[in-house]
Structure 1
Amino acid sequence: MMRTGREIRVRAYPAGSVSPDDFELVEVPVPRPGPGQVLVRNTWTSVDPGLRLRLRPDAPSGYFAAFPLGRAMDGIMTVGEVVESRAEGFAPGDVVWHAQGWREYAAVDAGAEQLSGLGTLTRLDLDECEPQWYLGPLGGMGLTAYAGLHVVDALRGGETVWVSAAAGAVGSLAVQIARLTGNRVVASAGTDEKVDWLRDSLGAEAFNYRVGNLGASLGGIAPDGIDVYFDSVGGTHLETALSHLRRGGRVALCGSISEYESGSAGPRNLFLAVSKDLTLRGFRGSSNLHLMGQMQRQMAGWLRAGELDYRQTVFTGLESAPHALTEMIAGRTTGKTLVSLD
Structure 2
Amino acid sequence: MVTIGDVAKAAGVSRSTASYALSGKRSISPEVTQRVLDAVAELGYTPNAGARALRTSQTRVLALFAQFVEDEFAPAMLEYIKGVTDTARELGYDTLLVSDDDGVGAVQRLARSRMVDGFVLLNVAEDDDRLEPLRQVPQPGALVGLPGDPSGLDVFDLDFEASGRMMVDEMHALGHREMILVSQPEDVVERGGAYVWRLADAAKDRAASLGIELHHYFAASSQPQIGEDLHRFLDAHPGATALLLNNEGAAAALPAVLHARGLSAPEDLSVVGRYSDVFARTFSLPFSAIDSAADRLGRHAVHQLVGRIEGSLDKASPHTVELIAPEVHDRGSMAAPPAA
TM-score over 0.5 for the pair: no
Structure that is richer in helix per residue: 2
TM bucket normalised to smaller: 0.3 to 0.5
Specify the structure having the higher radius of gyration (Cα). Answer: 2
Structure that is richer in strand per residue: 1
- TM-score of the aligned structures, taking structure 1 as reference length: 0.37
